[in-house]
Structure 1
Amino acid sequence: MSTMDFSRVTWRKSNFSGNGGADCVEVAVVPGDPALAGHKPDADELYLVRDSKDPDGPKLAFTRSEWDAFVNGVKLGEFDG
C-alpha cells in the first residue's frame, strides 16, 4: 500500500473559522490515491478533511460525489439542529 505525501498539499479553511482558525477543519483536493480511498469507484480526485488542531492526525477522504452530497446537505440545512 502506498502512502501519500501531505507536505505539498494545500489545505484551506473557512473565512468564518473562529479562534484564528485554530478550531476548525481544513479541506484539500488531491489526485486520487488507492491508499486513501482505493475501495471507492470514483476516487480519481479526493477531498481530504483534517482537524486544524492535529494536522498530522487522521484525514478523512471523500470522492467528488460524496463531497457534493455533503455540501448540498449543508446548503439545504439537513444538518441543522
Structure 2
Amino acid sequence: MELFNGMQASALTSVTWTKSSHSNATGNCVEMAELPGGQVAIRNSRDPEGPALVYTRDEVAAFVAGARDGDFDRMIG
C-alpha cells in the first residue's frame, strides 16, 4: 500500500490508533498510529474515516519536542 498525506485513514486497517489521555469528552483530539516501515499516521478523532497525515518518526519527534518546550502554547492560550 502506498502511504501519502491525505490518504483515507480507513485504508489503514492493520494499525492501532492511540488517543492522548489528555483528550476531552467531546472528542477534540488527534489519534496517532505507527505504520509499517516506521512512519506515523495522524487523524482527527472526530473523523476516523477521514484523511490521515503521514509523517516520518523524525518529524513527529521534532513536533513533540517543540510541544514539550512550549513552542505552540500561543495557539491554544
Distance 1:48 1:12 in 2: 10
Instruction: Tell me the alpha carbon deviations over residues 30-54 of structure 1, each in whole angstroms, 9 at most, x when there is no partner.
Output: 113xxxxxxxxxxxx1111000111
SS in 1 for 2:54: strand
Corresponding residue of 2:55:
62
TM-score of the two chains, using structure 1 as the length reference: 0.74
Bigger Rg, which one: 1
Corresponding residue of 2:69:
76
Distance 1:63 1:8 in 2: 18
Select the structure with the greater relative contact order (CA < 8 A; seq sep ≥ 6).
2
Q: Across the two proteins, how many residue pairs are aligned to each other? A: 67
Distance 1:56 1:66 in 2: 23
Instruction: Tell me the alpha carbon deviations over residues 14-70 of structure 1, each in whole angstroms, 9 at most, x when there is no partner.
Output: 1111016x22100001113xxxxxxxxxxxx11110001111111011101101100
Distance 1:23 1:70 in 2: 19
Identity of aligned residues (%): 43
Q: CA deviation at 1:6?
A: 1.4
**Poorly superposed stretches of 4+, deviation over 2 Å:** 2-5
Corresponding residue of 1:19:
25
TM-score of the two chains, using structure 2 as the length reference: 0.77
Structure 2, unmatched stretches of 5+, are 4-10
Structure 1, unmatched stretches of 5+, are 33-44
